[in-house]
Amino acid sequence: MIMQQHKIVFGGTMGAGKTAAIIALSDTPVISTEALNTDAQAHRKLLTTVGIDYGEICLDDGSIVGLYGTPGQDRFDFMWSIVCKGAIGIVILIDHSRADSLKELEFYLSTFGNFGSNIVVGITHLDEGHEQKLKIYREWMQVNQKIFPLFAVDARKKGDVLLMIETLITRLEIQSEFSI
């Protein structure tokens, strides 16, 4: 039986690096539900998550944080609300190399925003795609009045992923201080 005190969910586009982020951060071997990708039109990657990926990190105070990765395909959207239940935060990863990355950002923020408000956004694959980098995402958030921390990340790098997790935890601590 998996026992943890806290839960963070990774959601976002197929191929954005959710599984890679959990692998980079987890202190335990990751339980993965990757299978052969049968949706080559959606993404060219060989494997894709079809269930839930799971890893854990142990914080300095001994607290254990469960890291849950969701499938990126919207045909698995029935799982998202179940996985997000009880989460202290949500990391949304968006693949910058995809032509419709802004539409995907809007979709995942809207959808996962229904499951929690403590959200950070990581933009991956910035070495690919057009040159606008983070500017287009900042401008989109400003125009759409969305206020979420936004990061350029390499999901394979522990430091990049850890910064997003620390931001979620800090936001949670600030929210609880103001609610007292």
Residue 109 belongs to domain with CATH number: 3.40.50.300
**Of 46-55, 130-139, 143-152, 169-178, where does mean pLDDT reach its minimum?**
46-55
Domain that holds residue 125: 6-178
Quickly state the pLDDT bin for 73 (edges 50, 70, 90).
confident
Q: What is the mean pLDDT of the chain?
A: 86
Residue 46 lies in a domain: yes
The verdict on residue 1 lying in a domain is no
Q: The dihedral of CA 29, 70, 165, 173: what is its sign?
A: negative
The pTM of the full predicted model, rounded to 2 decimals, is 0.86
* Higher local confidence (pLDDT), 37 or 138: 138
Does 11 fall in a domain? yes
Q: What is the pLDDT of residue 44?
A: 61
Question: Left, alpha or beta for 35 (phi > 0: left; psi -120 to 50: alpha)?
Answer: beta
| Average of per-residue pLDDT across 4-31 | 91
The number of distinct structural domains making up the chain is: 1
